[in-house]
């Protein structure tokens, strides 16, 4: 597996964990696109980017709808 594939897989795993946190706690998903949240994520790992409201959540919805 290439470094890019590893990075993508790790990002997807992190995004899924964040989505589970949002859904499990009833947290508004817009919090994830706030600067303070992005600061937490970049502090943990500065190669991770998240864009839940515009990218990840719509993608999950499309996949669920398709299934």
Question: How high is the pLDDT of residue 48?
Answer: 67
Q: Give the chain's domain count.
A: 1
Distance CA 61, CA 8 (A): 20
Concatenated DSSP letters of 46-59:
TT----IIIIIHHH
Look at residue 29 and tell me whether its pLDDT is greater than 70: yes
Question: How high is the pLDDT of residue 21?
Answer: 86
Token pair recorded at residue 60: 């999950």
Range of the domain at 39: 3-66
Q: In terms of DSSP H, where are the helices of 1-67?
A: 3-25, 35-44, 57-66
Quick one: average pLDDT of 31-51? 78
Confidence tier at 25 by pLDDT (50, 70, 90): very high
Distance CA 12, CA 8 (A): 6
């Amino acid at each position: 597996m290439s470094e890019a594939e590893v990075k993508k897989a790790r990002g997807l795993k992190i995004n899924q964990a964040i989505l589970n946190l949002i859904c499990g706690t009833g947290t508004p998903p817009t919090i994830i696109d706030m600067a303070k949240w992005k600061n937490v994520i970049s502090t943990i790992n500065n190669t991770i980017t998240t864009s839940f409201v515009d990218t990840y959540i719509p993608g999950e919805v499309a996949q669920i709808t398709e299934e």
